[in-house]
Structure 1
Amino acid sequence: MAQAELPGDIERDDGPAFTSKDREERGHAAPEGESSVSGVAVTIKRPASELYAYWRDFGNLASFMLNVEGIDVIDRERSHWRVAGPNGTYEWDAVVTEDVPDQRIGWRAEEADVPNSGWVSFADAGPSRGTVVTAMIAYSPPAGIVGKLVAKVTQQEPAIQARRDLRRFKQLMETGEIATTTPPNREPKS
């Protein structure tokens, strides 16, 4: 993959492989080149080590990811996911592809109803500000663009879910609970 050049001769490749225009480099996350890529970030007033540790215990993720019906942790590198979608439940095995303690976790789905891959990173937000948590996901929607539109209409598109789930993660980590009601006279945000 091409290396990004940054000021001060710093080289870093912070783009996931699934964003590459090279199909071979993109791998199995985007068969037939029909991948949809989404990213979202939130600042959480907690240290990166605490957020990373909670996220790295994959069994915890269903506590704030609304459409996740269940995660069976197979071992430290593999887990089996069941996620509600517009046409029922989708399943896959996730394999950890990158694990940098307190900084980043990457994954790739195998044997997936919805091929996907991505990463979540934890970066210092500055003095007394906490941690910026960024999530990137690429997936190939069932039925291509039509499937993506159906998922958006039903509010089950991964970009919409990721935004909601990170807000719920923020609430859980900062307050110990997740708000479950909408204030009077206010429409819920997606």
Structure 2
Amino acid sequence: MLENRSGNSSAIHIPPATGSSIINIGTGERIASVLGGLALASLGVRNMKNGKGIALLLGGGYLLTRGLVGYCAVNRALQRNTVSKNASAIQVSRAFTINKPRAEVYAYWRKLENLPRFMKHLSEVKETDATHSHWTAAIPRGLGSVSWEAEIVEDRPDEYIFWESLPGSTIDNAGEVTFKDAPGQWGTEVHAIISYRLPAGDVGALAAKLINPVVELLIQEDLRRFKNIVETGEIPTAEGPSGRLQDKVRSKLKKFKQSYQHHNYEGPMLERH
């Protein structure tokens, strides 16, 4: 829970695990399912004349789908997971005061296409209608990009925004921002909570472990940049008072890129350029 100065608290929304985040079959089991599915499908094709072919094809199709998608309904019902690690969530929360009227601060954030102006981990947000939008995030150091669809679930003008990615997204994302008048007419108190969940699976677990610290640092800077751009209308050029944060980001990115190259990471979440 995040408590504000008035003593109220707001729930922290972690994006629900959907799509690739609910992979519950490990790599070895997925390979076995694919091979078994191919074998059954091949037998099915050869036995179409004696009545067994259709059943074999259906069984083979199920195993193929199970292996390729990485999800098993039986595993979930039994709460069984053969993946080495579950998907890991990134969650960053910040509270700060902006010396601008609440309506103005809210309006800037509510126009989601403004977000990439201060959120440098986002390359584009395109609003497709009043509540839906298409998001594209850049993987640090030119390692690719990932896109997803999101929906504004709750919107109280000048007070509160809550959005989350649509079910089945490659990356699960959620965010909520609360806007309140600061005490003594000193502008607007902003409470922002941003959450991401990378895909599950062996590769997803590796990516989460390596990239989460980088994204957390970038989001912290994004929120600081939001305050600057709303107050001054300009994007700050200095990324930190002493460059310590930039040094941390560079260190994390270097480690991530080395591991990325070592593991030849080509997961479905990335769109390579």
Q: What TM-score range do you get, normalising by the shorter chain? A: 0.7 to 0.9
Q: Which residue number corresponds to residue 151 of structure 1? A: 211
1:33–1:89 distance in 2 versus 1, CA, 3 Å: closer
Letter in 2 for 1:73: E
Give the percent of matched residue pairs that are identical in Structure 1 and Structure 2: 32
Distance 1:63 1:51 in 2: 14
Would the aligned equivalents of 2:13 and 2:176 in 1 still touch at CA under 8 Å?
Answer: no
1:17–1:128 distance in 2 versus 1, CA, 3 Å: closer
Distance 2:151 2:106 in 1: 17
Letter in 1 for 2:126: D
1:180–1:94 distance in 2 versus 1, CA, 3 Å: same
Instruction: Name which of 176, 187, 190 aligns with 2:233.
Output: 176
Which structure 2 residues correspond to residues 103-182 of structure 1 after superposition, within 5 A? 103-110=159-166, 111-142=168-199, 143-152=203-212, 155=214, 157=215, 159-181=216-238
TM-fit CA distance, 1:165: 1.0
Distance 1:167 1:161 in 2: 10
Residue 18 of structure 1 pairs with residue 14 of structure 2: yes
Listed as ranges, the gaps of 5+ residues in structure 2 are: 1-6, 23-85, 247-273
Q: Which residue number corresponds to residue 73 of structure 1? A: 127
Would the aligned equivalents of 2:87 and 2:198 in 1 still touch at CA under 8 Å?
Answer: no
TM-fit CA distance, 1:122: 0.9
Listed as ranges, the gaps of 5+ residues in structure 1 are: 1-9, 20-25
Between structures 1 and 2, the one with greater helix share: 2
TM-score for both structures, normalised by structure 1: 0.76
Q: Match of 1:138, SS?
A: strand
Distance 1:78 1:56 in 2: 12
Would the aligned equivalents of 1:17 and 1:27 in 2 still touch at CA under 8 Å?
Answer: no
Q: Match of 2:191, SS?
A: strand
Q: What RMSD, in angstroms, separates the aligned Cα atoms of the two structures?
A: 2.9
Would the aligned equivalents of 2:118 and 2:225 in 1 still touch at CA under 8 Å?
Answer: yes
TM-fit CA distance, 1:130: 1.4
Structure with max Cα Rg: 2
Letter in 1 for 2:196: Y
Between structures 1 and 2, the one with greater strand share: 1
Q: Match of 2:146, SS?
A: strand
Q: Which residue number corresponds to residue 262 of structure 2? A: none
Q: Deviations over 1:47-81 (max 9, x none)?
A: 11101111111111111111211111101101101
Would the aligned equivalents of 1:69 and 1:83 in 2 still touch at CA under 8 Å?
Answer: yes
Runs of 4+ in 1 over 6 A off after TM superposition: none
1:16–1:27 distance in 2 versus 1, CA, 3 Å: farther
Distance 1:122 1:174 in 2: 15
TM-fit CA distance, 1:152: 4.2
TM-score for both structures, normalised by structure 2: 0.55
Aligned length: 170
